[in-house]
Amino acid sequence: MAAIIELNNISFSAQNQIIVRDFSHQFDEGKTTALVGPSGGGKSTVLKLAAGLLIPTGGDVLFRGKSIARMNRKEALNFRKEGAVVFQDSALWANQDLHQILELPLRIHFPDMSKSDREQRIREVLKDVGYTKELSARPAMLSMGEQKLIAFARAMSCRPDLLFLDEWTESLDDTGARRLIDIVKHWQKDNKTILFVSHDFKIIKDLADYILMILGGRLFLKLTREEIVRDDDMARYIEKGIAS
């Protein structure tokens, strides 16, 4: 099976602290991988490195065999179009209203798209995530859960094939979380590639084809969903590891 993202012996340091150490893994196209582990273990940093949001201090990250760090402007733009990120803190632009936030990716990646088509796409993604309020508001006026819905809708707007989701159901009530989980399941049927970080073992067990446990910035354990489904001891080990 072809790898869409490859992490080759990557390391990452910040403020004189090593956060990720000699991490290697190939993410298969069309599969869903959960990055798990205790808080502060480096899983969100690994996700951001895979998404090209951070440049490793050692090693290399490849997208379809091409180093992300050495992409030209056109290649980087195509990578951003094909991949989308939902951040743990939503990362909505504070000085933009919600409509501007949702419209900007379409303006960048589909410059020939008409205004009416952009409006239609925005309506579609908002309906999918279940957001029904006015778009003239700024992010500060929204609850954390509402911000997460807008962040998820923004990630959906360009219809990407590669998704990076960091604690994407956090701050949502059960109804909102269930809606986003159902969207991810629909993406899986469309063979999209998904990398996600979550502390929710039920979501991990429900969605992940592969589970990578990260401890101290290192890849500690690789598992398949089948391994944790059929091995209760391993399932309890993973659940305990993500709760700490």
For 148-197, what is each residue's pLDDT tens digit? 999 999 999 999 999 999 999 988 999 999 999 999 999 999 999 999 99
Q: Quick one: pLDDT at residue 39?
A: 85
What domains can you pick out in the chain, each with its CATH number?
A: 3-243 (3.40.50.300)
In this model, does residue 236 exceed pLDDT 90? no
Residue 28: helix, strand or coil by DSSP?
Answer: strand
DSSP-assigned letters across all residues of 103-149: HHHHHHH-TT--HHHHHHHHHHHHHHHT--S-SSS-GGGS-HHHHHH
In tens, the pLDDT along 105-155 reads 999 999 999 999 999 999 999 999 999 999 999 999 999 999 999 999 999
Look at residue 1 and tell me whether its pLDDT is greater than 90: no
Mapped onto helix, strand or coil, the DSSP state of residue 203 is helix
Would the pLDDT of 74 be above 90? yes
Instruction: Give the residue with greater pLDDT, 243 vs 6.
Output: 6
What confidence tier does 27 reach under pLDDT thresholds 50, 70, 90? very high
Tokens of 61: 């990250």
pLDDT cut 90: percent of the chain above it = 86
- Model confidence at 233, pLDDT cuts 50, 70, 90, reads confident
Pairing mode of beta strands 32-36, 193-197: parallel
242 with 37: CB under 8 angstroms? yes
8 A C-beta contact, residue 31 and residue 41:
no
Number of H helices, E strands in the chain: 9, 10
Residue 244 confidence (pLDDT) above 80: no
